[in-house]
Structure 1
Amino acid sequence: MLEMKLKRTLYRGGFLLLIFLFLGTGIFAQNSGLFPVSNNRKYGYIDKTGKMVIKPQFDYATVFSEGLAHAKIEGKRGFIDKTGKYIIDPIYDKVRNFSDGLAAVKSKGKWGFIDKTGKVVIELQFDYAYTFSEGIARIQQGEQFGFIDQTGKWIIKAQYDAAFDFKEGLARVKQGDWKTGKWGYINKTGALILEYRYDDSFDFSEGKANVRMGNEQTGKWGFIDKNGEFVIEPMFDRAFTFIEGLALIRIGSFKTGKYGYIDTKGGIAVNPQYYGGHHFSEGLACVKETKDGKWGYIDKTGKVVIGFQYDIPADFEHGLAKVRIGTYKSGVSGFIDKTGKFVWQSS
């Protein structure tokens, strides 16, 4: 099995491209007030005012997490501090951001973990290793997934056909193939808390998890609590995670349906009227009215606060959002504030 894809298409209208290409810098991760930018194919960092504080010099760079950011140069990756100095030399083929004080790194085909001094604390021995979440890291060995603690000890042996990180004390796991298998939820001892009965599922967020009953074509999505009880019955053709008290939902098919937002009781907060949409972040969500239209931003009442003008949008993080106007060949990307004003643009 290839490495499980963590990132999933959240809405229609080109967001898959957005996830993999536009947001490769990891803008959704923790942020220290510095934002990675690319100029002439080199990465540097700006602050919230748009001032360049680390000059473009890296082949690739991500957002800071726990005080360090991973940066690539000449094909290898290491970690820099907020001055742009390498604290951990670029010697690894792949790395993930620091979380819980450790970072997953890959060399010679195997993954392990280092601390912030660069010391290897869990030997490079795994086929795939993911970021620590709530003190536990997801590991893939062959085609099976399990979990280790921060000493590298297996606390839940590799036994699942698919698995995701622990969130709010539970992790979603799957037994069976992608078409016919079912999802359930385990706790940190590996006990199955919610039985394998869901045809698709997402992580718990704000006390609820969105799950699907039935197949992808005709099944319906609803929300469960940590007892497995439906607190919002399966009634939506698509439903996404609650963030800031609202969840993105779709009424109708993938091709013709419309996206809107519900509140925590399942009531409609913003009418389903959009061709595409994304989660709320810092009180705003990017939405798109038509297939060929542009993206803009609404507030939680549905009011358009930044007009429809962007070809590729992103969530607001620490007061800024990365956007692009135009194509990759001829357009301009940069960061906007919540008035829609550019604080930095690519040259």
Structure 2
Amino acid sequence: MKKFVITLGLSLSCFVLSCYAQDLAMFKKDGKVGFINKSGEVVIDPVYSNGKSFSDGLAAVTYSGKMWGYIDSSGKFVIDPIFKRANDFVGGMAIVSMNGDNIYINKEGNEVNVKGADKLYEFAPEGVAIYKSNRRVGLIDQFGEVVLDPKYDVIRPFVNGYAKVALNNKWGIIDVKGNEVIPTKYEEIGHFIIDGYVWAKYNDSFGVIDNGEFKVIEGADKIQDIENSNQVIVRNGKTWGVVNDKQEWIIPSIYEDIRQGHGDLLAVRTGRKWGFINAKNERVISFKYDDAVAFSEDGLAAVKSHKWGFIDTKGTVVIPFEYDITAFNFSFTTQEKGFFEGVARVKKNKKWGFIDTKGNVLGNTWYDNLELFNKK
């Protein structure tokens, strides 16, 4: 399979070398798809009928509205638009549909054969993919070689280099080499490991696995995926609280919901209203919001009072309540609400745009639809 390069008459607003240093976001305007950089400048003009975000340096697009190919960040096709369907490149590989068959291709556009596979699965960033044969699943690498013989009933997607696996209705965790870092003996288990921690259910008790040792959390009947080993969000009955890394309750289970983010403050709901508390269960920001998202690394939290706005850690309104925000993109996959790496995706008057932490609209432009920024 050849690769080829055409420009389709694009008027680029940056040189190729400078594009490679930037993140790009896909936008849709007047029925066409293009891409902007973090300065709000159009880097690739909206000339495509449809498209997907950049991933692994390439973006799947269709120019004619029928066949898909892949462009680089200069807007040039580097893999022919000859596919009926085309998935994102992840870990150097993509699944495409050609002549009625689903196949793997690498970034050179060459097919990678996998013998004996019953079904193809998307690669993880670590360069492995689930490999299914005879009703069991294992792992393959980017060359189609078997990394882990099919032995599990289920392998979930990798997160931070680990994946949860099931065998005979028991769950464990493996690494990207197929090593079983947590044995398949738990009734339930979390999706990822943080600081050696992951939540699990064992012998009908909920608790955490701390570097291989299961520790019960008394009273727990559900646990959120752990983001901070010293702030484990736990449900007891119908309400939520927080335990520390010694499995001690530091915030009693008195809240209807708790959301964790960056920094020390937690977004919590009591009754129908949201507010913010610290790790000592002290009220820091009043319970007066219809909805709230925990603080981002930019020090702002999205809160809703009819419309969405943004507050700082003192509760001061930094960006007024005039936006809608969403947890979905074009392809309906979850994404972070609020600010992420200095920008937030918001909707106003049925149009989408990015705002910075001062509320300025990037490029002073609104679009019909807009994706988050993705590293090329």
What is the TM-score normalised by the length of structure 2?
Answer: 0.64
Distance 1:106 1:226 in 2: 42
Q: Structure 1 residues 39, 167: CA separation in 2 closer, same or farther (over 3 Å shift)?
A: same
Q: Structure 1 residues 160, 223: CA separation in 2 closer, same or farther (over 3 Å shift)?
A: same
Q: For 1:216-242, what per-residue CA distance to the aligned partner results, in whole angstroms no more than 9, with x for missing partners?
A: xxx86x654442545987848552352
Distance 2:121 2:188 in 1: 25
Distance 1:63 1:52 in 2: 15
Distance 1:321 1:335 in 2: 5
Distance 2:234 2:298 in 1: 17
Q: CA deviation at 1:342?
A: 1.7
State the secondary structure of the residue aligned to 1:259.
Answer: strand
Who is 1:239 aligned against?
A: 224
Who is 2:331 aligned against?
A: none
Unaligned runs of 5+ in 1: 1-29
The runs of at least 4 consecutive aligned structure 1 residues that moved more than 6 Å come to 231-234, 243-251, 300-303
Who is 2:66 aligned against?
A: 75
Q: CA deviation at 1:108?
A: 4.7
Which of 342, 349, 352 aligns to 1:333? It is 352
Which of 190, 196, 221 aligns to 1:201? It is 190
Q: CA deviation at 1:53?
A: 2.0
Q: Structure 1 residues 119, 172: CA separation in 2 closer, same or farther (over 3 Å shift)?
A: same
Who is 1:342 aligned against?
A: 361
Q: Does residue 35 in structure 1 map to residue 43 in structure 2?
A: no
Larger Rg: 2
Q: Structure 1 residues 270, 303: CA separation in 2 closer, same or farther (over 3 Å shift)?
A: farther
Residues 261 and 296 in structure 2, CA contact (< 8 A), matched pair in contact too: no
Distance 2:40 2:146 in 1: 45
Q: CA deviation at 1:43?
A: 0.9
Who is 2:345 aligned against?
A: 322
Who is 1:92 aligned against?
A: 83
Residues 33 and 47 in structure 1, CA contact (< 8 A), matched pair in contact too: yes
Q: For 1:78-108, what per-residue CA distance to the aligned partner results, in whole angstroms no more than 9, with x for missing partners?
A: 2111121211122223333333333333335
Who is 1:147 aligned against?
A: 139
Which of 132, 156, 180 aligns to 1:192? It is 180
Q: Does residue 294 in structure 1 map to residue 283 in structure 2?
A: no
Residues 162 and 175 in structure 2, CA contact (< 8 A), matched pair in contact too: yes
Whichever residue aligns with residue 260 of structure 1, its letter is R
Who is 2:16 aligned against?
A: none
Who is 1:269 aligned against?
A: 265
Distance 2:31 2:203 in 1: 45
Residues 267 and 294 in structure 2, CA contact (< 8 A), matched pair in contact too: no
Matched-pair identity in %: 28
Which of 118, 121, 128 aligns to 2:109? It is 118
Distance 2:84 2:231 in 1: 39
Residues 110 and 127 in structure 1, CA contact (< 8 A), matched pair in contact too: no
Distance 2:308 2:229 in 1: 21
Q: CA deviation at 1:324?
A: 1.8
Q: Structure 1 residues 205, 142: CA separation in 2 closer, same or farther (over 3 Å shift)?
A: farther
Distance 1:244 1:64 in 2: 33
Residues 192 and 225 in structure 2, CA contact (< 8 A), matched pair in contact too: no
Who is 1:20 aligned against?
A: none
Q: Structure 1 residues 296, 235: CA separation in 2 closer, same or farther (over 3 Å shift)?
A: farther
Bigger shift: residues 87-96 or 105-114 = 105-114
What is the TM-score normalised by the length of structure 1?
Answer: 0.69
Residues 94 and 123 in structure 2, CA contact (< 8 A), matched pair in contact too: yes
Q: Structure 1 residues 202, 107: CA separation in 2 closer, same or farther (over 3 Å shift)?
A: same
Which of 126, 130, 136 aligns to 2:122? It is 130
Who is 1:23 aligned against?
A: none
State the secondary structure of the residue aligned to 2:138.
Answer: strand
Q: CA deviation at 1:151?
A: 1.6
Q: For 1:14-68, what per-residue CA distance to the aligned partner results, in whole angstroms no more than 9, with x for missing partners?
A: xxxxxxxxxxxxxxxx994221101122110112122222111223223322322
Higher RCO (CA-CA < 8 Å; seq separation 6+):
2
RMSD: 4.1
Distance 2:309 2:201 in 1: 29
Q: Structure 1 residues 194, 37: CA separation in 2 closer, same or farther (over 3 Å shift)?
A: same
Who is 2:39 aligned against?
A: 49
Q: Structure 1 residues 257, 140: CA separation in 2 closer, same or farther (over 3 Å shift)?
A: farther
Whichever residue aligns with residue 63 of structure 1, its letter is S
Distance 2:135 2:300 in 1: 37
Residues 247 and 263 in structure 1, CA contact (< 8 A), matched pair in contact too: no
Q: For 1:169-190, what per-residue CA distance to the aligned partner results, in whole angstroms no more than 9, with x for missing partners?
A: 43211235xxxx3421123453
User: How many residue pairs end up in the alignment?
Assistant: 300
